[in-house]
């Protein structure tokens, strides 16, 4: 089916695509066109939430609405909601009418016109699972280079929940997520309305919606931009020590709330908490804040990471080792991007 044929205004959409954007004037057209090009045998609605952008983002959205009519459902805020502690999901998710919800933020984009069809087919083949994901290319805003990321092998399979949770980082890119709407709307109230909200939402989608596992498709079907000004990664790296310390407390607080939820393995969650502490410790290392680094890294206990734990102890105990470790970490981060 052609992309132009997959809209039936009088029918309930099978997929609701949620696109959240703020000051993405350089990217939003590409993001929405990647959604609009999808070739499906079912209707799709696009819910785009602009959080009072100050650039051309709202105008570009309006242009695309004129071009594509009922295909785009806009939520255009007049006042920025994020700055008031209100995350876009409290406005977008209740609007979704589809059997499934897909995500694509305004600074990412899809590259395969059969992405949605393939993911819907995969979840229908696995009715016991609520989440489907795939790899993406990481596009560095600094270098312009792309590298494959979130690669978990060449086989299509259902990945166990413990594997998804017990990691040092996100299992899959936001732009790869397709989930059953019923499961998404069953997320805890604190995920939608928590004050302060969780520092990042992706992990909690993976953990809670992915409690029955996740269907992994091995093909790259999206691009994830790294280093976009204002993005989570960019803000994380630019936060001062006090804000970063508070973000760590918030992240651990909300992660602890997953304890006891059916389908979430205790050991995997305990390991994830240790990785969270390590990630924040490394950011304090990058900042050159040895006092906060020492405090956060002191209690880290990670299985099978003896060399890393030895390095942390060495840097806590020596100014010279801390300085050398910081330079090495910054070089490694620079190289990886």
Per-position DSSP letters for 31-65, written without gaps between them: HHHHHHT---SS-EEEEEEE---SSSHHHHHHHHH
Residues 6+ apart with CB under 8 A from 102: 15, 16, 17, 18, 116, 119, 177, 178, 179
Question: Residues 259-279: what's their mean pLDDT?
Answer: 94
**What does the block give as tokens for 132?**
């489907």
Cβ–Cβ under 8 Å, residues 35 and 6:
no
For the segment 289-322, what is each residue's pLDDT rounded down to a tens digit?
999 999 999 989 998 899 999 999 999 999 999 9
Per-residue DSSP letter, 299: T
Where does the pLDDT of residue 2 fall: very low under 50, low under 70, confident under 90, or very high at 90 and above?
Answer: very low
Mean pLDDT of all residues in the chain? 92
Q: Which of 29-43, 44-58, 124-138, 220-234 has the lowest mean pLDDT?
A: 220-234
Least confident segment among 36-45, 60-69, 147-156, 193-202: 193-202
Residue 99 is encoded by which pair of tokens?
């059997």
Average the pLDDT over 263-284 and give the result. Answer: 95
Q: Which pLDDT value is given to residue 1?
A: 47
What average pLDDT does this structure show over 78-87? 91
* pLDDT greater than 80 at residue 7: no
Count, in order, helices (H) and strands (E) of the chain.
14, 12
Over residues 149-174, the pLDDT tens digits come to: 999 999 999 999 999 999 999 999 99
> Average pLDDT for residues 39-47, to the nearest whole number?
97
Where do you find CATH 3.90.550.10 in the chain? 3-233
User: What does the alpha-carbon distance between residue 40 and residue 33 come to, in Å, rounded to a whole number?
Assistant: 15
pLDDT tier at 69, thresholds 50, 70, 90: confident
Q: Please state the pTM of the whole predicted model.
A: 0.93
Residues counted in the chain: 337
Q: For domain 3-233, give its CATH number from 3.30.300.130, 3.40.50.2000, 3.30.1370.160, 3.90.550.10.
A: 3.90.550.10
């Amino acid at each position: 089916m052609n992309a132009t044929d997959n809209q039936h205004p009088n029918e309930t959409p099978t997929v609701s695509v949620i696109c959240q954007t703020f000051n993405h004037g350089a990217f939003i057209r590409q993001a929405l066109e990647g959604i609009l090009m999808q070739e499906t045998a079912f209707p799709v609605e696009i819910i785009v939430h602009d959080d009072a952008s100050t650039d051309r983002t709202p105008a570009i959205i309006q242009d695309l609405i004129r071009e594509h009519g009922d295909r785009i459902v806009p939520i255009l805020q007049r006042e920025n909601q994020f700055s008031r502690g209100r995350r876009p999901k409290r406005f977008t998710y209740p609007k979704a009418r589809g059997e499934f919800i897909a995500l694509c933020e305004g600074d990412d984009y899809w590259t395969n016109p059969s992405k949605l069809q393939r993911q819907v087919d995969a979840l229908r083949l696995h009715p016991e699972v609520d989440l489907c994901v795939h790899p993406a290319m990481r596009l560095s805003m600094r270098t312009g280079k792309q590298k494959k990321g979130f690669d978990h092998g060449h086989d299509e399979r259902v990945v166990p929940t413990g594997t998804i949770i017990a990691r040092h980082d996100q299992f899959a890119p936001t732009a790869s997520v397709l989930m059953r709407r019923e499961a998404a709307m069953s997320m805890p109230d604190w995920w939608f309305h928590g004050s302060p909200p969780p520092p990042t939402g992706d992990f909690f989608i993976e953990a809670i919606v992915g409690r029955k596992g996740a269907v992994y498709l091995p093909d790259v079907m999206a691009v994830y931009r790294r280093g976009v000004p204002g993005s989570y990664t960019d803000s994380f790296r630019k936060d001062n020590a006090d804000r970063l310390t508070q973000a760590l407390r918030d992240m651990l607080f909300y992660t602890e709330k997953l304890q006891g939820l059916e389908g979430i393995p205790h050991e995997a969650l305990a390991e994830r908490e240790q990785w969270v502490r390590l990630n924040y410790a490394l950011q304090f290392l990058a900042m050159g804040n040895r006092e906060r680094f020492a405090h956060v890294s002191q209690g880290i206990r990670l299985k099978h990471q003896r060399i890393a734990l030895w390095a942390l102890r060495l840097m806590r105990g020596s100014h010279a080792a801390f300085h050398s470790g910081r330079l090495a970490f910054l070089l490694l981060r620079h190289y990886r991007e």
